[in-house]
């Protein structure tokens, strides 16, 4: 039986580099906005042109003074992409594009785009969100910025159950923090304090091993104490390089989420026991 078009049109042969090139052409080359200049001559702009024209007004520019300077520094210029580019670099580029579109929406206003401009704008957004789904990531609004975060179903469930945890959980999952040992440690310190009130409950209700493993990592991996010759830090972690230590920080994060995820079950566990024996 022949496959319907609708079943074949979603990444028929997925290639991140091909998808990047599509996005880059839409953003840099396609004319999306027409402005009347002197003597009633119209000038056509791509979305990249528009960002460049208004760049110094961008609240996310930091100390960059041009768009090209930003792209080069973030390592998401055209020269940084090839068939072998890591997945995370594509996520960085998508994060940039989504924020660039939001900047144009605020600066120029989506309603001022002509039909073709709106089509290009919407196509970039749609493709970005499709790519995020394919790359196991999603976009979250944090303050005035759209941040790309790694998708984590347990983290999402815990954030819904306990909204006060959501900001720290989302912050930990941001792609910008993927290699930042110090920032990961700061976030885990915050989460460790939020675990403390529940430790006795976890231990008494059958989750002693999970709780002790989690607190071991939080206390002994250098998360809650500086990475120096400190008696509270297990010497094995002091010998690890940063990439190995980040792996254990991420495991501590997953263990923390597991602890928080079982708390709702613990709250009605006794009722289940009563039901089974009465």
Q: Which residues are paired to 43 by β-bridges?
A: 35
Task: In whole angstroms, give the CA distance from residue 98 to residue 109.
Answer: 15
Burial grade of 41 (CB within 10 A; 0-12, 13-18, 19 or more): exposed
Specify the pLDDT at position 11.
Answer: 63
How far CA 63 is from CA of 55, 57, 59, 96, in Å, comes to 11, 11, 10, 16
Specify the pLDDT at position 1.
Answer: 47
- CA angle at residue 176 from 188 to 122, to 5 degrees? 130
Specify the pLDDT at position 2.
Answer: 58
Task: In whole angstroms, give the CA distance from residue 82 to residue 76.
Answer: 11
Q: Whole-prediction pTM value?
A: 0.84
DSSP string for 60-82: T-TT--SHHHHHHHTT-SGGG--
The stretch 188-198 carries a mean pLDDT of: 92
Q: Report residue 113's pLDDT band, with 50, 70 and 90 as the boundaries.
A: confident
| Per-residue H/E/C for 164-186 | HHHHHHHHHHEHHHCCCHHHHHH
The helix/strand/coil state of 222 is coil
- Token readout for 191 is 């989460």
The stretch 248-261 carries a mean pLDDT of: 95
pLDDT digits 0-9 by tens, 49-69: 999 999 999 999 999 999 999
pLDDT digits 0-9 by tens, 143-178: 788 999 999 999 999 999 889 999 999 999 999 999
| Token pair 């290639």 in the structure block, residue | 15
Burial grade of 93 (CB within 10 A; 0-12, 13-18, 19 or more): buried
Specify the pLDDT at position 5.
Answer: 59
> Where are the chain's structural domains?
14-149, 152-269
Report strand pairing: 31-36 vs 145-150.
unpaired
Alpha helix segments (H runs only) across the chain: 5-8, 16-28, 47-53, 67-73, 87-107, 115-134, 153-161, 166-173, 181-195, 199-204, 208-220, 235-238, 242-277
The helix/strand/coil state of 198 is helix
Specify the pLDDT at position 226.
Answer: 47
Q: Report residue 36's pLDDT band, with 50, 70 and 90 as the boundaries.
A: low
The stretch 239-257 carries a mean pLDDT of: 91
């Amino acid at each position: 039986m022949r496959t319907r078009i609708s079943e074949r049109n979603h990444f028929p042969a997925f290639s991140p580099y091909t998808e990047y090139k599509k996005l880059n052409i839409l953003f840099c080359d396609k004319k999306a906005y027409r402005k009347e200049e002197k003597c009633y001559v119209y000038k056509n702009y791509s979305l990249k042109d528009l960002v460049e024209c208004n760049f110094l007004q961008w609240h996310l520019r930091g100390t960059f003074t041009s768009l090209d300077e930003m792209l080069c520094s973030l390592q998401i210029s055209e020269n940084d992409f090839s068939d072998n580019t890591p997945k995370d670099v594509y996520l960085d580029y998508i994060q940039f594009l989504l924020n660039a579109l939001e900047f144009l929406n605020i600066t120029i206003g989506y309603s001022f785009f002509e039909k073709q401009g709106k089509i290009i704008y919407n196509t970039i957004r749609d493709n970005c969100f499709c790519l995020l789904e394919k790359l196991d990531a999603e976009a979250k609004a944090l303050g005035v910025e759209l941040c790309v975060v790694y998708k984590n179903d347990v983290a999402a469930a815990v954030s819904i159950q306990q909204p006060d945890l959501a900001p720290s959980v989302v912050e930990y999952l941001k792609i910008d923090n993927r290699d930042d040992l110090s920032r990961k440690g700061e976030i885990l310190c915050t989460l460790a304090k939020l675990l403390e009130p529940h430790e006795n409950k976890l231990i008494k209700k059958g989750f002693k091993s999970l709780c002790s493993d989690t607190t071991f990592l939080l206390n002994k991996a250098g998360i809650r104490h500086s990475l120096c010759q400190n008696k509270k830090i297990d010497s094995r972690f002091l010998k690890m390089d940063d990439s190995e230590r980040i792996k254990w920080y991420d495991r501590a994060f997953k263990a923390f989420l597991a602890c928080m995820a079982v708390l709702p079950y613990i709250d009605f566990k006794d009722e289940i026991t009563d039901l089974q024996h009465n």
